[in-house]
Amino acid sequence: MLISVLARGYVFLRAAHFGPTVIVTITTFLLAISQYSIIDALRVALAIFAGQLVVGWSNDFIDAPLDIAAQRTKKPIVSKELKPEQLKKSIVFALIAALLFSLFSPLGITGTLVHFLGILSATFYNLKLKPTILSPLPYIVSFGALPWAIYLPAENQPPLWLYLDFMIIAVAFHFFNVLKDFQWDINQGILGLPQRLGKNASLFISISLVISALLVFIFLR
């Protein structure tokens, strides 16, 4: 029974883009622990984790027709491990959880508003901006907002290098992440900025942005 529950949970985590979700959650905890106690930092991380579930699940739900057409069998909906209706209900549950966990954590009203700005931005990417020239914009907004959501409720301001690096690395990830499905995206009409610039240019931009993030860290920290 326990193994079955854990296996089912892992399917839902895969649909939430497990790797990025875990990275964002751990990063959130490490940032929060610089402002709050360990327990409060865990509460903040839990709120952000719930928000990441909203973003990841909505991405898989919205992209399901494209994923099926491309036969991306690693996607739980494509492999029929999850039904779209199940994911849709889970999105609503995660959104409510993100709101409640945020409000009743150290984030309070201020941090919750900033957190939901990030969720809204990322969801708008899934809904509208992914196939447009503005595809990097939600990465800038959502990841740029994360340090502010943590620092502002503690009556502090994140250092310039921190939120700049969050934005730069997020955009670098966007340009790098599309490379694995580059031609499929183009064939399916997903023409975000990386696809419009080309595969080689996207790889170059991704590497350049990572180097830029390192320079920002070295000279502005």
Q: Where are the domains of the chain?
A: 2-220
CATH of the domain spanning 2-220? 1.10.600
pLDDT at res. 206: 98
pLDDT at res. 1: 67
pLDDT at res. 100: 98
pLDDT at res. 3: 74
User: What is d(CA 123, CA 52) in angstroms, rounded to the nearest whole number?
Assistant: 10
Q: Which residues of the chain have pLDDT under 50?
A: none
pLDDT at res. 2: 64
Q: In sequence order, what are the residues at sequence separation of 6 or more whose Cβ sits closer than 8 angstroms to the Cβ of residue 33?
A: 41
pLDDT at res. 29: 98
pLDDT at res. 7: 81
Question: Cα angle vertex 9, ends 7, 14, to 5°?
Answer: 95
pLDDT at res. 53: 98
User: What is d(CA 40, CA 33) in angstroms, rounded to the nearest whole number?
Assistant: 8
